[in-house]
Amino acid sequence: MASETDPALALPSGSRGASHTARRAWKMGKGLLSILFAVAFTFLGLLAITFFIGRVVPIDPVLAVVGDRAPRAVYEAARLEMGLDRPLIVQFLDYVGNVLTGNLGMSVSTGRPVAEDLARVFPATLEMATLGILIGVLLGVPMGVYAASRQGSLVDQVIRVVGLLGYSIPAFWLGLVGLALFYAKLQWVGGPGRIDVFYDGMVDPVTGLLLVDSLLAGETEIFFNALSHILLPAAVLGFFSLAYIARMTRSFMLDQLAQEYITTARVKGVPERLVLWRHAFRPILVPLITVIALSYAGLLEGSVMIETVFSWPGIGNYLTTALLNADMNAVLGATLVIGAVFIGINKISDVLYRVLDPRAR
């Protein structure tokens, strides 16, 4: 992003009143710069929240970190190490500095630096969420377009209810029901975990994504085993993004189909399929990208619950384990990473919207 803004910054002094493109680039650069400031501000706010949760909310933050069974000496050492005798603002600046240098503290339950733990577990979540969003997009977009084209029909009503179900079904419950049905009863998919214990650790982690790593190593057997394990959790996640994406696609499409140019195209005798996909669908691509990005970010949230159900060794499982062990550093670290990714995806979709939609420039 920085490289895009820099040339634009240099423009006004040298080429005032220059070509149209230059002025547009300057305007866009200014827009991107303001987004950059907004991002920085939001991240600072995120840090303020996690700092507040970690240091201000607990009655005794030291206890929250070392646990109530820690001996006196450990307690005192932790208290000094955390710098709790200093003013709050100094503590906060210190905290920001630590986070920026990648120091998230030590995890009590794993005994390793939180940052290292998070880097280890993140690919598992990424793999599941990515497969989930693929399912959501590939099914949700056509469903939404179809529902809009047959507005009021039975299929449309069903898709509407599916959309509302996405807001009413607890993700963890759907995961459990899925396990009972597709794993215990029908045996179509693998059980909890990323892979059968037998195959565990048989491929070297290159990317950390098991599906990719096993293919790189040429181990198709491991690939299919991993696939059978990831299918159900990814499908459950996919259902939630599908519900949201279908609902939004339907509403965008209805807006487009009510436009006069659609009527014109139909009067001219353009086949209905072309009217739908070329005339009506193309203008909604830009807002749809934003919706998909938001949905992808939302899957990170959903994965916290799903991973607990499926014993999936990702960031959600890490977070809940840390929560139950009152491992505050790990909780705050995971919260920070999930929040940062969430904000990051949101802002990137903002930028994409600006770049792609001529009206927003």
Partner 1 sequence: MATTRDWLLDDSPSSRLQARLGRGYRLSRALMRNPLAMVGALIVLALILAALFAPWIATHSPITQDLAMRLKPPSAEYWMGTDELGRDIWSRVVYGARITLMIVMLVAVLAAPVGLVIGAIAGYYGGWVDRILMGITDIFLSMPKLILALAFVAALGPGIQNAIIAIAIATWPGYARIARAETLTIRNSEFVSAVELQGASSFRVIVNHILPLCSSSMIIRVTLDMAGIILTAAGLGFIGLGAQPPLPEWGAMISRGRSFILNEWWVATMPGFAIVIVSLGFCFLGDGLRDVLDPKHGDRQ
What residues line the site for partner 1 (CB under 8 A)? 41-42, 45-46, 48-50, 53-54, 57-58, 64, 151-152, 164-165, 167-173, 176-177, 179-180, 183-184, 251, 254, 297-298, 300-301, 304-305, 308-309, 319-320, 322-324, 326, 328, 331-332, 335, 338-339, 342-343, 346
In the complex, minimum distance from the CB of residue 41 to partner 1, in angstroms, rounded to a whole number:
7
C-alpha R_g of the chain: 25
Would you call 156 exposed, middle or buried from its count of C-beta atoms within 10 A (0-12, 13-18, 19+)? middle
Q: Following DSSP, what letter does each residue of 250-286 receive, concatenated?
A: HHHHHHHHTSHHHHHHHHHT--HHHIIIIIIHHHHHH
288 Cβ contact partners less than 8 Å away, ≥ 6 residues apart: 141, 245, 248, 249, 252
d(CA 322, CA 69): 17
Q: Would you say 49 or 217 has its CB closer to partner 1?
A: 49
In the complex, minimum distance from the CB of residue 235 to partner 1, in angstroms, rounded to a whole number:
17
Q: Would you say 214 or 303 has its CB closer to partner 1?
A: 303
In the complex, minimum distance from the CB of residue 314 to partner 1, in angstroms, rounded to a whole number:
14
In the complex, minimum distance from the CB of residue 267 to partner 1, in angstroms, rounded to a whole number:
22
335 Cβ contact partners less than 8 Å away, ≥ 6 residues apart: 50, 53, 319
In the complex, minimum distance from the CB of residue 20 to partner 1, in angstroms, rounded to a whole number:
33
The total of other beta-carbon atoms located within 10 Å of residue 215's CB is 15
Q: Would you say 8 or 47 has its CB closer to partner 1?
A: 47
Q: Would you say 115 or 315 has its CB closer to partner 1?
A: 315
CA angle 134, 138, 141 (to 5 degrees): 125
Q: Would you say 8 or 331 has its CB closer to partner 1?
A: 331
Q: Would you say 1 or 324 has its CB closer to partner 1?
A: 324
In the complex, minimum distance from the CB of residue 222 to partner 1, in angstroms, rounded to a whole number:
25
